[in-house]
Chains A and B, each alone.
Chain A
Amino acid sequence: MNVHTGIGASILRKEDRRFITGKGNYVADIKRPDMVMGVFLRSPHAHALIKGIDIKVAAALPGVAAIFTGADLAADKVGGLPCAWGVSNADGKPMKEPPRSAMAVDKVRCVGDAVAFVIADTVEQAREAADAIEVDYEVLPAVVGVLDAIRPGAAAVFDDIPDNTCFDWECGDAKATAAAFKNAAHVAKISLVNNRLVGNPMEPRAAVAEYDAGRDHYTMWTTSQFPHVVKVLMGNFVLNIPQHKLRIVAPDVGGGFGVKQFLYAEEIITTWASRKVGRPVKWVNERSEGFLSDAHGRDHVSEAELALDETGKFLGLKVRTVANMGGYLSTFGPNIPTNLYGLLLAGVYTTPAIHCEVKGVFTNTVPVDAYRGAGRPEATFLLERLVDVAASEMKIDKAEIRRKNMIDASQYPYQTPVIVKYDSGDPKACLEKALEDSDWGGFAKRKEESKARGKLRGIGLCTYVEACGLAPSRIVQSLGARAGIFESATVRVHVTGDVTVLIGTHNHGQGHETTFAQIVSEKLSIPADKIEIVFGDTDRVQFGLGTYGSRSLAVGGTALAKATDKIIAKGAKIAAHMLEAGEGDIVFENGSFAVQGTDRSKSFGDVVGAAYGLVNFPVDVLEPGMEAQAFYDPVNFTYPGGAHIAEVEIDPECGSVDLVSYIAVDDIGTVINPMIVAGQLHGGIAQGVGQALFENCVYDETSGQMLSASFMDYCMPRADNMPNMEIVTLSTLCTHTSFGVKGCGEVGTIGSPATVINAVVDALSHLGVSHVDMPATPSRIWRIIHNSANQLRAAE
Chain B
Amino acid sequence: MNVEMTVNGKTVKADTSPSLLLSDFLRENLNLTGTHVGCDTSQCGACVVHIDGVSMKSCTLLAVTVDGKSVTTIEGLARTANADLHPMQLAFHHNHGLQCGFCTPGMIMSAVDFAKRTPNPTEGDVRHWLEGNICRCTGYQNIVAAVLAGAAAMQAQAGG
Among B27, B74, B100, contact of A509 (Cβ-Cβ < 8 Å): B100
Q: Is the CB of A29 within 8 A of B140?
A: no
The residue of chain A having its C-beta at the shortest distance from the C-beta of B39 within the complex is A287
Among B33, B94, B126, contact of A22 (Cβ-Cβ < 8 Å): B33
Chain B stretch 76-124: residues in CB contact (< 8 A) with chain A = 78, 85, 89, 92-94, 96, 98-105, 108, 123-124
The answer to the question of A255 belonging to the interface, with a C-beta cut-off of 8 Å to chain B, is: yes
Q: Is the CB of B93 within 8 A of A13?
A: yes
Q: Is the CB of B139 within 8 A of A22?
A: no
Chain B stretch 28-59: residues in CB contact (< 8 A) with chain A = 31-41, 43-44, 46
With a CB–CB cut-off of 8 A, which chain A residues contact B33?
Answer: 22, 26, 28-29
Among A21, A204, A511, A724, contact of B141 (Cβ-Cβ < 8 Å): A724
With a CB–CB cut-off of 8 A, which chain A residues contact B94?
Answer: 12
The answer to the question of B15 belonging to the interface, with a C-beta cut-off of 8 Å to chain A, is: no
Q: Is the CB of B40 within 8 A of A722?
A: no
Chain A stretch 102-131: residues in CB contact (< 8 A) with chain B = 124
Among B36, B39, B143, contact of A710 (Cβ-Cβ < 8 Å): B39
Q: Is the CB of A12 within 8 A of B96?
A: yes
The residue of chain A having its C-beta at the shortest distance from the C-beta of B128 within the complex is A720
A764 to B108, CA, bound (A): 40
With a CB–CB cut-off of 8 A, which chain B residues contact A124?
Answer: 17, 19
The residue of chain A having its C-beta at the shortest distance from the C-beta of B76 within the complex is A22
Among the interface residues B139, B140, B144, which one has the most CB atoms of the partner chain A within 10 A? B139
A153-161, A399-407, A520-528, A675-683 - the one binding chain B: A675-683
Chain B contact residues: over half helix, strand or loop, or mixed? loop
From known contacts A23-B34, A202-B102, infer whether A686 and B140 are also in contact, taking CB-CB under 8 Å.
Answer: yes
Chain A stretch 465-488: residues in CB contact (< 8 A) with chain B = none
The answer to the question of B67 belonging to the interface, with a C-beta cut-off of 8 Å to chain A, is: no
Q: Is the CB of B34 within 8 A of A21?
A: yes
The answer to the question of B135 belonging to the interface, with a C-beta cut-off of 8 Å to chain A, is: yes
Q: Is the CB of A201 within 8 A of B34?
A: no
From known contacts A21-B78, A724-B141, infer whether A204 and B101 are also in contact, taking CB-CB under 8 Å.
Answer: no
The answer to the question of A449 belonging to the interface, with a C-beta cut-off of 8 Å to chain B, is: no
With a CB–CB cut-off of 8 A, which chain B residues contact A12?
Answer: 93-94, 96
Interface 1/0 per residue, A233-262 and B, CB below 8 Å:
000000000000000000011110100000
With a CB–CB cut-off of 8 A, which chain A residues contact B41?
Answer: 287-288, 710-712
From known contacts A22-B75, A29-B33, A711-B39, infer whether A202 and B100 are also in contact, taking CB-CB under 8 Å.
Answer: yes
A676 to B44, CA, bound (A): 24
Q: Is the CB of B103 within 8 A of A20?
A: no
Number of chain A residues close to chain B: CB under 8 A: 58
With a CB–CB cut-off of 8 A, which chain B residues contact A202?
Answer: 36, 38, 44, 46, 100, 102-103, 134-137
Among A15, A286, A679, contact of B138 (Cβ-Cβ < 8 Å): A679
The answer to the question of B70 belonging to the interface, with a C-beta cut-off of 8 Å to chain A, is: no
A479 shortest CB reach to chain B, Å: 30
A695 shortest CB reach to chain B, Å: 11
A28 to B31, CA, bound (A): 11
Interface 1/0 per residue, A583-596 and B, CB below 8 Å:
00000000000000
With a CB–CB cut-off of 8 A, which chain B residues contact A744?
Answer: none
A98 to B104, CA, bound (A): 42
From known contacts A682-B141, A683-B138, infer whether A16 and B93 are also in contact, taking CB-CB under 8 Å.
Answer: yes
Among A255, A288, A680, A712, contact of B136 (Cβ-Cβ < 8 Å): A255
A176 shortest CB reach to chain B, Å: 41
Interface 1/0 per residue, A1-18 and B, CB below 8 Å:
000000000001101111
From known contacts A22-B105, A719-B140, A725-B141, infer whether A203 and B36 are also in contact, taking CB-CB under 8 Å.
Answer: yes
Q: Is the CB of A17 within 8 A of B93?
A: yes
The residue of chain A having its C-beta at the shortest distance from the C-beta of B143 within the complex is A719
With a CB–CB cut-off of 8 A, which chain A residues contact B149?
Answer: none
B83 shortest CB reach to chain A, Å: 12
With a CB–CB cut-off of 8 A, which chain B residues contact A20?
Answer: 74, 85, 89, 92-93, 98, 101, 104-105, 108
With a CB–CB cut-off of 8 A, which chain A residues contact B136?
Answer: 200-202, 255, 257, 683, 687, 716
A719 to B137, CA, bound (A): 12
B126 shortest CB reach to chain A, Å: 7
The answer to the question of A492 belonging to the interface, with a C-beta cut-off of 8 Å to chain B, is: no
A375 shortest CB reach to chain B, Å: 20
Q: Is the CB of B141 within 8 A of A19?
A: no
Q: Give 5 nearest A-B pairs by CB, closest first.
A: A22-B34, A19-B101, A254-B102, A509-B100, A682-B139
Given contact pairs A202-B134, A509-B99, A725-B141, enumerate 14 new A-B contacts (beta carbons under 8 Å): A12-B96, A19-B100, A22-B73, A24-B34, A26-B33, A28-B33, A124-B17, A287-B40, A679-B96, A680-B99, A682-B141, A685-B139, A712-B43, A719-B131
- The 20 sampled A-B contact pairs (Cβ below 8 Å) are A16-B98, A21-B85, A23-B34, A26-B36, A202-B100, A202-B103, A202-B135, A203-B100, A203-B102, A254-B101, A257-B136, A287-B40, A679-B142, A683-B99, A684-B139, A717-B140, A719-B128, A719-B135, A719-B140, A724-B144
